[in-house]
Chains A and B, each alone.
Chain A
Amino acid sequence: TQLLEQSPQFLSIQEGENLTVYCNSSSVFSSLQWYRQEPGEGPVLLVTVVTGGEVKKLKRLTFQFGDARKDSSLHITAAQTGDTGLYLCAGVFSGSARQLTFGSGTQLTVLP
């Protein structure tokens, strides 16, 4: 069984602070997605990373894919209360054509 570990599980910070969420596996991903999920809704795609070492930016969010394609991180700069939510990483492992393996999620709370 290929596992994807996400940390931390919970994160509570003050508005304006920076934070990083991590996603790790012992297996290689062919691609990795980051989603955000609100209560009662489905995961909404934020970004996809495919190439080892890739960095993508989405406003104050920076996504990195490890050189070996076994890990990824999400960094939020100057967090805002609107960033509060559940962040999920989900990867497609090499050799598994289509199924996404999800992490357990990081519940982020940004306090005013």
Chain B
Amino acid sequence: EPEVTQTPSHQVTQMGQEVILRCVPISNHLYFYWYRQILGQKVEFLVSFYNNEISEKSEIFDDQFSVERPDGSNFTLKIRSTKLEDSAMYFCASSPQTNQPQHFGDGTRLSIL
């Protein structure tokens, strides 16, 4: 069964450094999403992406965050200057259409030192 894949599974970065989290969505899906889950808290929506542009974003997704689909398969989340509070699990998801269920990857655990 097709699945969303995320790399790396764990990323350790010094505070202030840039980090790029990578995702390969399911191949025939058109909508892409990033969520995060801080330890012990709920999964929170960050951003949705369709047709090479952001379609929705949350208050969390400030100027330090950006997303890109650099080629036909990858979908990336960049954090420009990481802070301690960016430490979390980051999940990528994709869906075929906007009103269809989202399928999640296994996440990248981001640890900021």
Contacts and interface: CB of A to CB of B under 8 A. Distances in A.
Contacts of A41: 106-107
The interface size bin for chain B is 20 to 34
Given A42-B107, A102-B43, A97 B56 contact: yes
A43 B48 CA distance: 17
Interface string B40-61: 0011110010000001101000
A101 B45 contact: yes
Interface string A65-107: 0000000000000000000000010100000111111111100
A99 B99 contact: no
Interface in B74-113: 91, 93, 95, 98-107
A33 B101 contact: yes
B4 interface: yes
Contacts of A48: 100-101
The interface size bin for chain A is 20 to 34
Interface in A33-50: 33, 35, 40-45, 48
A100 B102 contact: yes
A25 interface: no
B102 A33 contact: yes
A14 B35 CA distance: 34
Given A30-B99, A45-B103, A48-B101, A102 B44 contact: yes
24 contacts: A31-B99, A33-B101, A33-B102, A35-B104, A41-B106, A41-B107, A42-B6, A43-B43, A43-B104, A44-B104, A45-B101, A48-B100, A97-B48, A97-B55, A98-B31, A98-B48, A98-B55, A98-B98, A100-B35, A100-B43, A100-B45, A101-B45, A102-B43, A102-B44
Interface of B: 4, 6, 31, 33, 35, 42-45, 48, 55-56, 58, 91, 93, 95, 98-107
Interface of A: 30-31, 33, 35, 40-45, 48, 88, 90, 96-105
